[in-house]
Amino acid sequence: MDSILLLVSSVISIFIWLLIANAILSWLVAFNVVNTSNQFVASVGNFLYRITEPPLRPIRKIIPSFGGLDVSPIVLILLLIFLRNLMFEYLPTMV
């Protein structure tokens, strides 16, 4: 059971880092630091969008944007951290 908990925790951590990378890339594109006409940047952006958009979409429907500021990644990161902590707190471990 411990290995399953650690695997799920690792997947949650990786997804949190993907959310952070998506937010940073969107800022870099918005401020014209990187250009999406570059094939590598476009493919990384497309990958991050396809991975992170499905769980962010329902949160964006509930929480409105605050003047162009999208807080849905922050909300999702907090929910994922809460879920991970809850999982380790209430699921039995075999140590």
Residue 24 lies in a domain: yes
Residue 95 lies in a domain: no
Nearest to 49 by CA among 72, 22, 21: 22
Domain that holds residue 68: 2-90
**pLDDT, position 3:** 87
Nearest to 18 by CA among 57, 51, 59, 56: 51
Residue 28 lies in a domain: yes
Chain length of the chain: 95
C-alpha 38/C-alpha 11 separation (Å) is: 29
Which segments of the chain does DSSP mark as H helices, in order? 2-30, 39-62, 72-90
Digit-by-digit pLDDT tens for the chain (95 residues) are: 788 889 999 999 999 999 999 999 999 999 999 999 999 999 999 999 999 999 999 999 999 878 888 899 999 999 999 999 999 888 765 54
**pLDDT, position 93:** 57
Q: The whole model's pTM is what?
A: 0.89
Count of domains observed in the chain: 1
